[in-house]
Structure 1
Amino acid sequence: MMFKTIIVHVSPASGMPATFGTAASLAISHGAHLVGTAVSGVAEMNYLLAAGAPVAIMPTFDLDALRKDAQQQLDTFAHQCEAAGVPSWETRLLETTAADALLLQSRYCDLVVAGNQDVAQYGLLAPTRLPGHLVTQCVRPVLLVPPKHHAKDNFSKIMIAWNGSAGASRALAFAMPLLLRAAQLTIVLCNPADERIDMGAEPGADLATYLARHHRNVNVVNLDTVQQTSTALCEMAERRHFDLVVAGAYGHSRLHDWVVGSTTGGLIEKCPVPLLMTQ
Structure 2
Amino acid sequence: MPYKTILVHVDQSHQTATRIDLALQLAAADGAHLIGAASTGISAFLHQHVGDAGAPSLAPYLDILRQRADAALAQFEQQVRRANATSFELRRIDDEAAPGISLSASFCDLAILGQTDPGQANQLLGPDFPEYVAIHSGCPVLIVPYAGAFASVGAHVLVGWNGSLEARRAVRDALPLLRRARTVELAVFNPRQQDDAHGQQAGADIALHLARHGVAVSVREEAGNGDVGEALLSLAADSGADLLVMGCYGHARLREVLLGGTTRTVLQAMTVPVLMAH
TM-score by length of 2: 0.86
Q: How far apart are 1:44 and its partner, in Å?
A: 5.0
Give the equivalent residue in structure 1 for 2:194.
195
> What residue in structure 2 maps to residue 56 of structure 1?
none
> What code does the residue aligned with 1:86 have?
A
For residue 122 of structure 2, what is the aligned residue in structure 1? 120
Task: Tell me how far 1:147 sits from its aligned partner.
Answer: 2.4
Name the CA distance, whole Å, in 2 between partners of 1:31 and 1:45.
Answer: 36
Q: In angstroms, what is the RMSD of aligned CA positions?
A: 2.9
**Cα deviation digits, residues 181-240 of structure 1 (max 9, x gap):** 111111101111223364343211111122122235211011112320000000111111
Structure-2 separation of matches of 1:200 and 1:251: 20
2:129 paired residue number: 130
Mapped pair 1:273 → 2:275: no
User: 1 CA distance for matches of 2:30 and 2:148?
Assistant: 20
CA shift digits 1:88-120 (9 cap, x unpaired): 211111110111121111221110000012663
> What is the alpha-carbon distance in structure 1 between the residues aligned to residue 219 and residue 253 of structure 2?
35
Secondary structure of the residue aligned to 1:38 is strand
Asked if structure 2 preserves the Cα contact closer than 8 Å seen for 1:250 and 1:261, the reply is no
- Name whichever of 243-252 and 137-146 sits farther off: 243-252
Residues of 1 paired with 2:130 and 2:7: CA distance?
Answer: 14
Q: Contact 2:156/2:184 (CA < 8 Å) preserved in 1? A: yes
For the 8 Å contact 1:250–1:260, the answer to whether it is kept is no
Instruction: Give the corresponding residue for 1:177.
Output: 176
**TM-score w.r.t. length of structure 1:** 0.86
Provide the identity percentage: 33
Separation of aligned partners in 2, 1:247 and 1:128: 20
User: Equivalents in 2 of 1:260, 1:49: separation in Å?
Assistant: 39
Shift of 1:272: 1.3
User: Counterparts of 1:70-219 in structure 2 under 5 Å?
Assistant: 70-117=69-116, 120-122=122-124, 129-153=128-152, 155-196=154-195, 198-215=197-214, 217-219=216-218
> What's the counterpart of residue 17 of structure 1?
17
Worse overlay, 4-13 or 145-154: 145-154
Question: Is the 1:19–1:147 contact (alpha carbons within 8 Å) kept by the matching residues of 2?
Answer: no
Higher share of residues assigned helix: 2
| AA in 1 matched with 2:122 | A
Structure 1 residues 42-79: Cα deviation after superposition (integer angstroms, max 9, x where no partner): 235836995xxxxxxxx997111111111011111100
d(CA) in 1 for partners of 2:167, 2:27: 24
Asked if 1 retains the 8 angstrom alpha-carbon contact of 2:153 and 2:273, the reply is: no
Which secondary structure state, in structure 1, belongs to the residue aligned with residue 180 of structure 2?
Answer: coil
- The answer (yes or no) to whether the contact 1:37–1:94 under 8 Å persists in 2 is yes
- CA–CA distance in structure 2, aligned partners of residues 260 and 10 of structure 1: 31
SS of 1:215 mapped into structure 2: coil
- Work out whether residues 169 and 247 of structure 2, in 8 Å CA contact, stay in contact via their aligned partners in 1: yes
SS at match of 1:42: coil
- Structure 2 unaligned runs (5+)? 51-57
Map Cα deviations across residues 148-193 of structure 1 (whole Å, 9 max, x no partner).
3434455111111000001110111111111111111111011112
Structure 1 residues 150, 86: closer, same or farther in 2, change over 3 A? farther
CA contact (8 A) 1:234 1:272 kept: yes
One-letter identity of the residue aligned with 1:169: R
User: Aligned to 2:200, what secondary structure does the other structure show?
Assistant: coil
Shift of 1:128: 5.8
Task: State how far apart, in whole Å, the 1-side matches of 2:172 and 2:223 are.
Answer: 26
Counterpart in the other structure of 1:53: none
Kindly tell me: are residues 259 and 21 of structure 1, through their superposed partners in 2, closer, same or farther at Cα, counting changes over 3 Å?
farther
| Distance in 1 of aligned mates of 2:188 and 2:36 | 35
